[in-house]
Amino acid sequence: MLFSSLFLLDTFPAGTLPALNQSRELLAERGMAVLGAWALLNLVVSGYYVARTDARSASHYFHQMNVGWNFVNAILAVVGMLRAHPYQVAGLTLAASLTAQFDFEKLLLLNVGLDVAYLVTGSWLRTRSLTAERRPERLLGFGQSLWLQGGFLLFFDLGFYLLYHRFAAQLLGLVQP
């Protein structure tokens, strides 16, 4: 899987609160690296093609949207990596750890909802392009881009949530009755 090497850090004994916090933060950091790699790939490929396609074609608008979309993804990835501090979360309390865990899970689930909205909007744009009198190629290209980007982000956010959620049970296991 994409995140198969995420738990290689063994600074603290396995199952302890500091180890769980460090692993959670490392996962977040590496997740942002994956998003950044996706953004960079799209910026390079679509940046190349946007300059080499007919400006009146759906392909041009597809690549144009990919460049814009992934410029934002790149910024989000860099900010996310800069904000991750795997070596500075060891001192979090259990309550703070649980709050951070569930806040991030809620954010990922919100993102999954947005990803579905991107796919629906992409479908609407593609359908709308069939009957549009003005610039149907733009609607089609933008719709295709939203499908690609929304599809990747849905896979990414859902996978990230499933991996990250595994820490919830471990953290809850540390709660004393």
The tens digit of pLDDT for each residue in 119-162 reads: 999 999 999 999 999 999 999 999 999 999 999 999 999 999 99
pLDDT of residue 89: 84
d(CA 118, CA 112): 10
**Radius of gyration over every alpha carbon of the chain, rounded to an integer in angstroms:** 20
DSSP code at position 131: T
Position 171 pLDDT exceeds 80? yes
The tens digit of pLDDT for each residue in 25-50 reads: 999 999 999 999 999 999 999 999 99
d(CA 139, CA 123): 10
The tens digit of pLDDT for each residue in 78-131 reads: 999 998 887 788 789 999 999 999 999 999 999 999 999 999 999 999 999 999
Buried b (16+ CB within 10 A) or exposed e, 63-102: bbbbbebbeebbeebeebbeebebeebbebeeeebbebbe
The length of the chain, given as a count of residues: 177
d(CA 69, CA 72): 5
